[in-house]
Amino acid sequence: MTKADIVAEVYEKIGLSKKEAAEIVELVLDMIKGTLQRGETVKIVGFGNFVVRKKGPRKGRNPKTGEEIEITPRKVVTFKPSMVFKGFVDR
């Protein structure tokens, strides 16, 4: 499913114009991105949690040369589905 598919679903189910539906979807996604950028967790009841996690430095290997390299610390976003969501998918 793409963002355009989500916009089409909102358009069909709520009855807004496609432009309004696109603006709402974009607004929700921007709010989620902004919250994660600040390092905060996004909890959507019945769906799951988006969490920003810090990864420390580690050793890696260049696959072409086999040379050992240092991978710098970074932040990553992880998703943990809720039990309700897991149950829905397992049906």
CB atoms within 10 A of CB 8: 16
Q: Which token pair is 80?
A: 């943990």
* CATH fold for the domain made of 1-39: HU Protein; Chain A (4.10.520)
Q: Tell me: the pLDDT tens digits for 31-74?
A: 999 999 999 999 999 999 999 999 999 999 999 999 999 999 99
State which amino acid sits at residue 60. G
Q: What is the pLDDT of residue 80?
A: 96
DSSP3 helix / strand / coil % (the chain, rounded to 5): 45, 30, 25
Tell me the whole-structure pTM to 2 decimals.
Answer: 0.79
Residues of the chain with CATH 4.10.520.10: 1-39, 41-91
Q: Tell me: the pLDDT tens digits for 18-33?
A: 999 999 999 999 999 9
* CATH fold for the domain made of 41-91: HU Protein; Chain A (4.10.520)
Q: How far apart are the C-alpha atoms of 79 and 59, rounded to whole Å?
A: 25
